[in-house]
Amino acid sequence: MIDKEAVKYHIRGLLEAIGDDPDREGLKETPDRVARMYEEVFEGMNYTNDEIAEMFTKTFEVSKEGTHDMVLVKDIEVFSYCEHHMALMYDMKVAVAYIPKDRVLGLSKVARIADMVAKRLQLQERIGKDIAYIMQKCTGSDDVAVVISGCHSCMTARGIRKSNSKTLTTTFTGRFETDDKLVRRLMIMVGDA
């Protein structure tokens, strides 16, 4: 769990360290606001990938003839914080595809998994791997693909300052690793992620 009192204490110290007065009008409640915000935006840190899989594992039976088709949920909007600079990763769009076995996962669960995984100090590459792992656990399918496109403020707002740069990452498991035709079809369906 997020230690809100420790966050408040350290945010106050950070405000002092950058040369501001934490007791001035605009900053008096900032440590408390930041602590409450961190509790919300880092909620995923409270759970392991296995616990997230248990939380969002609602599946539905499908007919045998429908289980060879790809299920794709795309344009899932998430944000996260880079573990290197604690900088915002934003305008992130996640696409999650899988080939069902006997059951399909509730569509909202796919979005909830992506959202919860992003609510951690993260790397974009790890977000994809975490989502793929959880999807495999929830669906029982080895065939999972995750495509993520996002902007990183550690590149757009500081350092190199390339405001139009985007990062695209892919995570493929099972047939998505070996079937080029399947991957081409997926990438056409995903479009510009």
Determine whether 138 is an active site residue: no
Determine whether 154 is an active site residue: yes
- Evaluate whether 128 touches 174 at the Cβ level (below 8 Å): no
Out of 43, 85, 136, 177, pick the active-site residue. 85
Q: How does strand 121-122 pair with strand 59-61?
A: unpaired
Out of 43, 82, 122, 136, pick the active-site residue. 82
> Please, is 163 exposed, middle or buried when counting C-beta atoms within 10 Å of its C-beta (0-12, 13-18, 19+)?
exposed
The CA–CA distances, whole Å, from 170 to 15, 64, 95, 118, 163 equal: 38, 29, 9, 15, 22
- At 140, list the tokens: 């029982």
Helix or strand or coil: residue 31?
helix
Determine whether 84 is an active site residue: yes
Determine whether 83 is an active site residue: yes
Determine whether 82 is an active site residue: yes
Out of 5, 16, 83, 125, pick the active-site residue. 83
Out of 122, 124, 136, 177, pick the active-site residue. 124
Q: Which residues are catalytic?
A: 82-85, 124, 152, 154
